[in-house]
Structure 1
Amino acid sequence: MSDRQATLDWLGDPAVFKVNRLDAHSDHRYYATVEEAEAGAPMKMRHSLNGSWSFHYAANPSSRPADFHAEGFSTAGWSTIQVPGHIQLQGWGQTQYVNTMYPWDGVEALRPPQLPEHNPVGSYVKEFDLPASMDGRPVHVSFQGVETAFYVWLNGQFIGYAEDSFTPSEFDLTPHVRSGTNRLTVAVYQRSTGSWLEDQDFWRFSGIFRDVYLYTTPDIHAYDLEVRADLDETYRLGTLSASLRLAAEAPAGSYARLRLRDPQGAVVAESAALPLDGARASAVLDAGEVQPWSAELPRLYSLLVTIHAPGGELVEAIVQKAGFRRFELKDKLMLLNGKRIVFRGVNRHEFNSRTGRAIGKEDMLRDIRILKQNNMNAVRTSHYPNQTLWYELCDEYGLYVIDEMNLETHGSWQKMGAVEPSWNVPGSLPEWRDIVLDRAASMVERDKNHPSIVIWSCGNESYAGEVIRSVATYFRERDPSRLVHYEGVFHDREFDDASDMESRMYAKPADIEAYLSDDPQKPYISCEYMHAMGNSVGGMHLYTELEDKHPLYQGGFIWDYMDQALVRKDRYGREHLAYGGDFGDRPTDYSFCGNGIVHADGTVSPKMQEVKFLYRSYRLTPSRESVAIRSVALFAGTGHLELVSRLLRDGVILHEESAGLDIGPGEEASVPIGLPEGSMDAPGEYVIEASLRLRDDQLWADAGHEVAFGQTIIRVEPADAAEPSLPAGEVSVVEGDVNIGVYGRGWQALFSKQAHSLVSLRYGGRELVETPPMPLFWRASTDNDKGTGMPFTHGAWLAASMARRCAVWELTQEAGTATVAYRYVFSTAPGVELSVAYTVRADGTIRVRTAYKGAAGLPDLPILALAFKTSADLGETRWLALGPEENYSDRSHGARLGTFSRAVADLPSRYLVPQESGNRTGVRRLDVLDAEGKGFAVSAASEPLECNVSPHSAMELENAAHVWELPPVHFTNVTIAARQLGVGGDDSWGAPVHPQFRIPSDQDYAFEFILGPSQD
């Protein structure tokens, strides 16, 4: 097609989505020698064009350099840009985050396929010298990812046009490439018809953001290779089918050979010479009894394909990894190799906080190791095909993949949460059918050889209709070895046949149970659940418990893997992680991009502690005599693990032992442990802990990595269970007009009749109370709290925390003690009373008894606590509690009882928006210390407590939208609670915390603790 035929009209025409683009094909690599192929060496027949390109940015097509592709056009004065990379992250245009709405909503009134007037254009120029090895040979260019539409010229000649940001677009350069220097020019438009199909919940970028390379091919070239490694009905015997599609008809007498090696390198099957009949060849190899592939045992075979010229000369060598597995739907169950699979999965965007979706191998390796280390076995590629390397790593490391095509039209059918598909695309509109089917084919043809991919997905949140049904039909006809997924049929059951499974987003556990209990016709997965925005993932166990209750419940995928936050500098040049709106982007959905169980810098968030535990494959229940182990693994035994058992008393390790294991998949066993005789005779709280750890290094973790644990807590009471006696000695009381002083040897406490609290506590002359303990009913709102409207519905408790009135105070003295008690009332919580009694004892410890009297008609309590401030010099903590990471009443299954230490500065979690974080449940003892280990301790007097120690108060956190808005640290804030509301996580836009994790305000509560000096 000549240059004159290239037109901007293509951008807004759904019928034009590729011009001169080559057909999609498999992502196999090919070489000139067998040695290179088997070594997986870099391809010599590729030449990278990554790096620095000349660049011009135009805000609109009218201001672009229209003739920049012409030979002789000077780019003097142009800037340079790095490829791969996003335009918006390299200094041009507007970085923008939106979720469901289209990015031009409210700016321009558009309906598909109209395009906004504001359509930034990036003009790229790359001069390259044609490699000598390509001179005189066919030359093609591959763009692995360009967002969203682009035109290509070489040496002034129009080459082609393509859309679809997330699958390769390749073009033949051969007619116009020349020896020596060549000039490749690319015009990238941010908006096109593809923009209506790419309304994903992510940052809206543009540019050449994946690799670009030239490639040549041998004289006889396998343009496409398809390999299917299937199992028979016994799941033991393997058959490998391979088919080749050549770039051109091969000369008569050309042939191919196939050789299959097992994971250990032994040859298990070979073919005879296969005549290359025209442009195709195929063969079937009987592999005999094989080692099946699974995420637990990702055993890969190597298929060597050699292509030979008529005289026998080797022309091309290919090594394609293959995994023998069978994924099928049988008796309404999804089965892998004959066994019911449960997806313990997560949704994952490709993301890096500095480079956006332009990620590299190190990003992928980090991600896959984190997934494996935390017991995840599945990934949904939300919501577009990923780079080829990701699938290769999933094959190798072992992850099940839902491969999702690049389709989301969320804003066309859902407006502010309401389903309103009046102008939905693609719907059943015939003009959108081909562009959507092309995206499906581009994904399947590239990715079809990866055993990790078990399900094709028709895209995300695009409602329903005939177009998506046609995609599902295409998937099934093209590849019957995989199942088909699409959640959107939930909104229109006329198109229920578009999905092989019932897939829902953010359904509550009760709703899932209702489906599973009503004669379901399909297995169920939650393609998105546990919306992990900010401090979330509470109640996840209510979902994972369904695995054992309902066979047709086959798991889910957490939303999502990583916060989509970008590094930005503030006005003072300091870097921080920023979210929507921080770049001046409007419209925006602000911090809704922060939904990850991993922080945007790639570090694991505290939420992962719960995920790892609930996704474990081994359930451990220790007792005094043994550890009961139940394996829910499907294929892997325990030969790679060792069992480490420990006995602790009041947090101190008394005994540790290890043992090997030999438990088969799905089996249960009891492993004896040898606790020393009499080791649990003394009074105290004992923990018997069992831990399964890697015996040897694995690809994804080092030896010693813990994969699962279990604990049993046993309380041994003293033989004489009488009330412990008071410390010996007397206290001295001085009652003044305003204050009440209580004194002893080396300590003093001061209570105020005016401030109505403990106002001073000194041990060894050091003041520990900077601001007095006061009732606290409010926690800094979490993202989920805001989503349920808690700041509006529960605001009375915020006001009650800010101000109260002391109705009565009282001083009483007994032998060896003095008690000062206060009773508070609250204007915004009529009928509620909170009494706090401080009993000072001769050793300087204070027993604090708190009693809450409830009242009807008030919302649930966010927290029931006392809070005070101490000096920021007390910046270290030591805990005997559930930990080591933060935990809450509905997110504590993954926490363990033990002793751990942490700096106060490190206790709050680094959520994008400051909010409640850092809580620990099951607190037996908490020490707040200075650098020399001196300070004070809080000990549970009866029932364990919940505690939070933070550099910032709840009110400071409540009033900050970013971490950099928090004031400088002057205090250590200590919150001692009877209970705190769970964090929830079913969703972040209205789902309440489950009832069992709430605090009804009309009930009475009491808690008590002992405040005293720390002990070394």
Structure 2
Amino acid sequence: MTPGPFLMCEFAHAMGNASGNLQEYWDAVYKYPRLLGGMIWEWADLAIRQKSEDGEIWYAYGGDFGDHPNSGHFCVDGLLFPDRTIKSSLIEFKKAIEPVKVHPVDMRLGIVSIQNRYDFLSLDHLACSWSLLCDGHIAEQGELTDIAVPAGGEAELTVPYGKAYEKQDGECWLHLRFTLRHETRWAPQGHEIAWADLPLPAKPRAVPGIRLNSMPKMRVQEKLDSVKLIGNTYSISVNKGSGLLTAYEYNGISLLQSGPMVNIWRATIDNDSRQSKEWKKAGFDAIQHRMDDFSIRFIEEQAAVISVKSTLGAAGLGTCFNVWMTYSVYGSEDVIITTRVLPKEGLPPLPRLGLQMIMPGTFDRLSWFGLGPHECYIDRKVSGRLGVYGGTVQEQFVPYIKPQENGNKADARWAAVTNAMGTGLYIGGMPTFDISASHYDVNQVAKAKHTTDLVRLNETFVNMDYRQAPIGNHSCGEAPPLDCYMLHPEETTFTLRFKPFSNRDISPVQLNRRWPEPIAQEISASSTPIPTLKQEAIL
């Protein structure tokens, strides 16, 4: 057979929260000259605009008019919403097919390689600006004046930034942006064509630790069923029977309604049709927590370590996971939670693995340092730009026509959930994690057929994931996501840092630059079970 061009009829199906692994398809297109590309099904969601009695807009699909037979929401499969609002899937696709690629050569000297993927155009129709950022703040910026790389060519260029960034405390990277020099028939001057984020090599700098002996002392109040740790500005209460935090207060403000506790479930997306059958068979949607062991130790008068051993499983299905959680509580107001999860053999890949906590609904602001500003997932995040972002919790909700998992922020270095006054909780990754926040309960989202079925609660559900399952690219088939992205059940340990704060006193960026000294070695060396702390009897 004579080799000829190969066109992929439908390589992606954009139904709901979808379009994972697009980058892998386009890596193949550029690797194999025969591949021409292909079609995505489809451009926009096909659904009919409706208005509820109270004036809320929603979109109807098959079956909403008493029509039988019907295809349900199978036509709701576009890169755009019905009103032509852009979905994250389209942003990802644009990034995957961008005609300019940048690769690092020697970042200490600012040397990069720029590849022109146009077949006929030189890059002289584009302007290139650059910014050097540290922890989200611009340290230097400028423009590259000569980027006339010919069609199909590649050239090395030097970005003329200084080395002052090496003295910066924090994470530094180079951001390059290519835009149209002149207006065209299809886009205005300044329209972005391509971009790149390239990490800068920095000399390892020791994070200044907060010494244990410099921290304020804590007090402890102990009852038969609970322990309360009290610092200068905060207090934490732990139930001895469940091993869970029952109260977390900062300057008299309650930060917590429940949790943090291990969470493995998500509101299934359209691409989960195959996997969700296995998830429910294993009982992942009905996990119950049972505490097996509880202990507490005190380190000097400035810290305490609470250790909890639990099992997780659905009623009637036995134990799925053994879980060990360690809460290291410091007089500096820090709480570092280390979670070790050991799954039993024979479980399917997981929907997610992390912690979930519920905060009062007044904590309705989310900020984060990670990929954004749109939602990103492990197999759909090449379009995520590293930066510091923020907004209301409700603004993070993505209104898929049939509600499903949404709003995840990938590779977060830190996140903060605060109220209107800027008071709230800092969450630090060790080193990174996925974060999402919502006013909707996951079970409510999973059962809803339309956005009008959702009732906003006066609660903020915060998910802090070690990882979440991929979203895949097979909503009209039964093929699973790529194996390299699957969250296989295996022994996993992850750590998060929590600290209450007020933006009036300190920023999350500043908090991220100072960490309490680890006390794990002191714990393992100590055999003293109960306190050197001042105890107060509570009747």
TM over 0.5: same fold?
yes
The counterpart of 1:878, out of the listed 367, 375, 387, is 367
Distance 1:947 1:581, change over 3 A: same
Matching residue of 1:644? 129
What is the alpha-carbon distance in structure 1 between the residues aligned to residue 282 and residue 115 of structure 2? 48
Matching residue of 1:937? 426
What is the alpha-carbon distance in structure 1 between the residues aligned to residue 285 and residue 42 of structure 2? 35
The counterpart of 1:967, out of the listed 442, 447, 455, is 455
What is the alpha-carbon distance in structure 1 between the residues aligned to residue 203 and residue 227 of structure 2? 37
* Kept in 1: contact 2:368–2:414 (CA 8 A): yes
* Kept in 2: contact 1:777–1:800 (CA 8 A): no
Matching residue of 1:732? 219
Matching residue of 2:329? 840
* Kept in 2: contact 1:534–1:783 (CA 8 A): yes
Distance 1:541 1:761, change over 3 A: same
The counterpart of 2:29, out of the listed 539, 547, 563, is 547
What is the alpha-carbon distance in structure 2 between the residues aligned to residue 805 and residue 875 of structure 1? 31
Matched, 1:867 2:356: yes
Matching residue of 1:692? 178
* Kept in 2: contact 1:829–1:858 (CA 8 A): no
Matching residue of 1:631? 116
The counterpart of 2:473, out of the listed 978, 985, 991, is 985
5 Å-filtered alignment, 1:757-836, equals 757-786=244-273, 788-801=274-287, 803-815=288-300, 816-827=302-313, 828=317, 830=319, 832-836=321-325
The counterpart of 1:950, out of the listed 419, 438, 449, is 438
Counterpart residue identity of residue 20, structure 2: G
Counterpart residue identity of residue 225, structure 2: V
The counterpart of 1:1008, out of the listed 467, 484, 495, is 495
Q: Which runs of 5+ in 1 are unaligned?
A: 1-518
Matching residue of 1:906? 395
Matching residue of 2:521? none
* Kept in 2: contact 1:618–1:708 (CA 8 A): yes
Matching residue of 2:49? 567
5 Å-filtered alignment, 1:161-310, equals none
Distance 1:670 1:805, change over 3 A: same
What is the alpha-carbon distance in structure 1 between the residues aligned to residue 437 and residue 132 of structure 2? 28
Q: How many residues align?
A: 494
What is the alpha-carbon distance in structure 2 between the residues aligned to residue 586 and residue 943 of structure 1? 52
What is the alpha-carbon distance in structure 2 between the residues aligned to residue 990 and residue 846 of structure 1? 43
What is the alpha-carbon distance in structure 2 between the residues aligned to residue 879 and residue 832 of structure 1? 30
* Kept in 1: contact 2:379–2:472 (CA 8 A): yes
What is the alpha-carbon distance in structure 1 between the residues aligned to residue 26 and residue 170 of structure 2? 33
What is the alpha-carbon distance in structure 1 between the residues aligned to residue 275 and residue 425 of structure 2? 37
**How much has 1:730 moved relative to structure 2?**
2.1
What is the alpha-carbon distance in structure 2 between the residues aligned to residue 813 and residue 795 of structure 1? 42
**How much has 1:537 moved relative to structure 2?**
0.7
**How much has 1:926 moved relative to structure 2?**
0.5
Distance 1:521 1:789, change over 3 A: same
Per-residue displacement from partner, 1:331-388 (whole Å, max 9, x unpaired)? xxxxxxxxxxxxxxxxxxxxxxxxxxxxxxxxxxxxxxxxxxxxxxxxxxxxxxxxxx
Counterpart residue identity of residue 642, structure 1: A
Counterpart residue identity of residue 593, structure 1: C
* Kept in 1: contact 2:470–2:485 (CA 8 A): yes
SS at match of 1:610: helix
Q: Which has the higher contact order (CA 8 A, sep 6+)?
A: 2
Matching residue of 1:420? none
**How much has 1:737 moved relative to structure 2?**
1.4
Matched, 1:603 2:85: yes
The counterpart of 1:557, out of the listed 35, 39, 63, is 39
Matching residue of 2:235? 748
**How much has 1:575 moved relative to structure 2?**
2.6
What is the alpha-carbon distance in structure 1 between the residues aligned to residue 150 and residue 487 of structure 2? 44
What is the alpha-carbon distance in structure 2 between the residues aligned to residue 628 and residue 744 of structure 1? 53
Matched, 1:887 2:372: no
SS at match of 1:1010: strand
Counterpart residue identity of residue 422, structure 2: G
Counterpart residue identity of residue 180, structure 2: L
Matching residue of 1:681? 167
Counterpart residue identity of residue 602, structure 1: R
What is the alpha-carbon distance in structure 2 between the residues aligned to residue 520 and residue 920 of structure 1? 46
**How much has 1:853 moved relative to structure 2?**
1.0
Per-residue displacement from partner, 1:689-713 (whole Å, max 9, x unpaired)? 1111222333333333221111122
* Kept in 2: contact 1:644–1:659 (CA 8 A): yes
What is the alpha-carbon distance in structure 1 between the residues aligned to residue 486 and residue 2 of structure 2? 32
Matching residue of 1:705? 191
* Kept in 1: contact 2:129–2:141 (CA 8 A): yes
TM-score (norm 1): 0.47
What is the alpha-carbon distance in structure 1 between the residues aligned to residue 217 and residue 27 of structure 2? 55
**How much has 1:833 moved relative to structure 2?**
0.8
Matching residue of 2:523? none
* Kept in 2: contact 1:797–1:861 (CA 8 A): no
5 Å-filtered alignment, 1:55-66, equals none
What is the alpha-carbon distance in structure 1 between the residues aligned to residue 433 and residue 223 of structure 2? 34
TM-score (norm 2): 0.87
Matched, 1:621 2:103: yes
5 Å-filtered alignment, 1:163-562, equals 521-562=3-44
**How much has 1:962 moved relative to structure 2?**
1.3
SS at match of 1:639: helix
Matching residue of 1:654? 139
5 Å-filtered alignment, 1:108-147, equals none
* Kept in 2: contact 1:570–1:576 (CA 8 A): yes
Distance 1:829 1:890, change over 3 A: farther
**How much has 1:897 moved relative to structure 2?**
1.2
* Kept in 1: contact 2:44–2:80 (CA 8 A): yes
Matching residue of 1:92? none
**How much has 1:968 moved relative to structure 2?**
2.8
SS at match of 2:30: helix
Per-residue displacement from partner, 1:433-463 (whole Å, max 9, x unpaired)? xxxxxxxxxxxxxxxxxxxxxxxxxxxxxxx
Counterpart residue identity of residue 254, structure 2: E
Counterpart residue identity of residue 335, structure 2: I
Question: Could you tell me the percent identity over the aligned residues?
Answer: 26
The counterpart of 2:339, out of the listed 850, 853, 867, is 850
What is the alpha-carbon distance in structure 2 between the residues aligned to residue 999 and residue 610 of structure 1? 22
SS at match of 1:823: strand
What is the alpha-carbon distance in structure 2 between the residues aligned to residue 556 and residue 748 of structure 1? 58
SS at match of 2:272: helix
SS at match of 1:906: helix
Per-residue displacement from partner, 1:743-797 (whole Å, max 9, x unpaired)? 11111111112343112111121111022222111111001102x1514544434
* Kept in 1: contact 2:279–2:351 (CA 8 A): no
What is the alpha-carbon distance in structure 2 between the residues aligned to residue 522 and residue 638 of structure 1? 30
Matching residue of 1:452? none
* Structure having the larger proportion of residues in strand: 2
* Kept in 2: contact 1:876–1:904 (CA 8 A): yes
Per-residue displacement from partner, 1:697-739 (whole Å, max 9, x unpaired)? 3333333322111112246354557976446222222221122
What is the alpha-carbon distance in structure 1 between the residues aligned to residue 374 and residue 237 of structure 2? 35
Per-residue displacement from partner, 1:787-818 (whole Å, max 9, x unpaired)? x15145444343453x1211112211112211
Matching residue of 1:921? 410
What is the alpha-carbon distance in structure 2 between the residues aligned to residue 797 and residue 545 of structure 1? 37
